[in-house]
Amino acid sequence: MEGSHAVAEAAKLCRPEVVSAYPITPQTHIVERLAEMVADGELDAEYLCVDSELSALSVCLGSSAAGSRVYSATSSQGLMLMAEVVFNVAGMRQPIIMSIANRALGAPLSIWNDQQDSLSLRDSGWFQLYGEDVQEMTDQHFIAYKAAERHDVLLPGFVCFDGFILSHTYEPVDIPTQEEIDAYLPPYVPYNKLDAKSPLSMGMYATPDYYMEFRYETDLAMQRAGNAISEVGKEFGEMFGRDYSMHTESYRMDDADVAFVALGSICGTVKDAIDEMRADGIKAGLVKIRTYRPFPAKEIAHALAGVPKVAVLEKNISLGTSMKGIVGLEVKDALTGTGIDVYSYVVGLGGRDIRKKDIRAIAALAEKGEGNMFYGLRTELL
């Protein structure tokens, strides 16, 4: 099944009552499929066509505030156009789940994959899950709704996966039945909802006397989201045989001399490269980050304990910072005081391929202590 269609199936199985989205490459197939499902009567939801992503997420926010389970999906520029509402959804504590088919940001215009879009909204108050393959990103939708809607969390979440590389790839996928998902994910019970009989306003004005406390409470909810994702991920494993109780996945980390840290589909390439390196006597390993927000700092520090060199593969750039990568800064923070060397490598921006030989070359750079750099620049263009 195509990745986008698997995501649409997952969204359908979660029984959203409202879907609103605006089509954008490479998210388009998801919302096209959901529109078909509603038109064909397979999915009993309001599908609201709107004029932009700003309207789409605004519709979602209002619908969620009215007590509905809500779904949306976007990419890149669409997410940026939503950004004003993205922060409001989190502040109003509405557990909307949105799929992000990761794509580079303009300018220059690019429809191809990197992860700058969702990573740029890391501080928005949405939790962020990243899938490595179609199965994982499909499963993460069920987990996301169940964690988001818990009354000790009440935060929205992104389920992120690499545009084209995953959204347009056909892979075998185990899609649970409706009965199975109904047993896993009970109907949404809103904490607050808009109701004319019991009027309420949300996202009210807060003077300097109150604003900071709201942000503090949202941060606490984000910390609790980490436990919630872990607990519902474990429960998913017990029901479906695929365990997501960990926010990270370690691959061949025993006795590793160099460890990669990465998010998303690149992890598959890295695992293959690690197998080759191990066969050649190079002790490499991988820590894949599945939950990026809340950032699983303790789990990462535990997984990387004792590894001399850490190479963070970044499909993003934090312009003007010394490390250059967004994720590397946080990994380095998680490892403060351990003496472990952490380097960022900016790779694959705007859809540039990352090959096994590139992973091997980056391992060699990390061993030499060279990092915090772009890797794979076409110097003849510069």
Partner 1 sequence: MALRIGAAAAPGRAPDNKTGSWRVFMPIVDMEKCTHCGTCTLACPETAVSDEDGEIRFDLDYCKGCGVCANECPAKAIKMILEEN
**Of residues 215 and 357, the one with the C-beta less far from partner 1:** 215
- Hey, which residues between 73 and 102 contact partner 1 (CB under 8 A)? 91-94
Residue 166: Cβ within 10 Å count: 28
Helix 266-279 to helix 356-368 angle (10° resolution) is 70
Residues 184 and 43: their CA atoms lie apart, in Å, by 18
- The piece of 207-215, 227-235, 250-258, 324-332 that touches partner 1 (CB under 8 A) is 207-215
The contact pattern for partner 1, residues 359-378, with x = CB under 8 A and - = no contact, is --------------------
- How many Å apart are CA 219 and CA 31, to the nearest integer? 31
Structure tokens at 278: 């191990």
The HSE-up count of residue 134 (CA atoms within 13 Å, CB side) is 22
Residues 294-333 that bind partner 1 (CB under 8 A): none
Residue 177 or 198: the one with the smaller Cβ distance to partner 1 is: 198
Q: Which three-class secondary structure state does DSSP give residue 272?
A: helix
Binding of partner 1 by 379 (CB under 8 A)? no
207 binds partner 1 (CB under 8 A): yes
Q: Is 150 in contact with 228 (CB distance < 8 Å)?
A: yes
> Please, are residues 25 and 75 in contact by the beta-carbon 8 Å criterion?
yes
Residue among 168, 149, 59, 163 nearest 118 (CA): 163
Question: What distance in Å separates the CA atoms of residue 338 and residue 357, rounded to the nearest whole number?
Answer: 30
Q: How far, in Å, CA of 49 to CA of 117, rounded?
A: 23
Q: Which is nearer to partner 1, 152 or 171 (CB)?
A: 152
Residue showing tokens 């000790």: 152
Nearer to partner 1, 209 or 255 (CB): 209
Compare residues 193 and 352 and give the one whose CB is closer to partner 1: 193
**What distance in Å separates the CA atoms of residue 117 and residue 194, rounded to the nearest whole number?**
31
Question: Which of 196, 204, 381, 382 is close enough to bind partner 1 by CB under 8 A?
Answer: 204
Whether the ω angle into residue 199 lies within 30 degrees of 0, i.e. cis, is: no
Segment 184-203, which members bind partner 1 (CB under 8 A)?
Answer: 191-192, 199-203
Residue of 189, 206, 305, 364 interacting with partner 1 (CB under 8 A): 206
CB of residue 224 vs partner 1: minimum separation in angstroms? 12
Neighbours of 71 (CB within 10 A): 32
In the complex, the smallest distance separating the C-beta of residue 185 from partner 1, rounded to whole angstroms, is 21
Q: Contact, 264 vs 115, CB < 8 A? A: yes
Q: How far is the CB of 91 from partner 1 (least distance, A)?
A: 7
Tokens 């003849």 -> residue:
380
Smallest gap, in angstroms, from Cβ of residue 189 to partner 1? 14
Site for partner 1 in 213-232 (CB under 8 A): 213-214, 217
Q: How many residues bind partner 1 (CB under 8 A)?
A: 21
C-beta of 171 vs 213, nearer to partner 1: 213
Is the Cβ of residue 218 or residue 227 nearer to partner 1 in the bound state? 218
What string marks each residue from 151 to 190 as x (binds partner 1 by CB under 8 A) or -?
---x------------------------------------
Q: Which residues bind partner 1 (CB under 8 A)?
A: 91-94, 154, 191-192, 199-207, 209-210, 213-214, 217
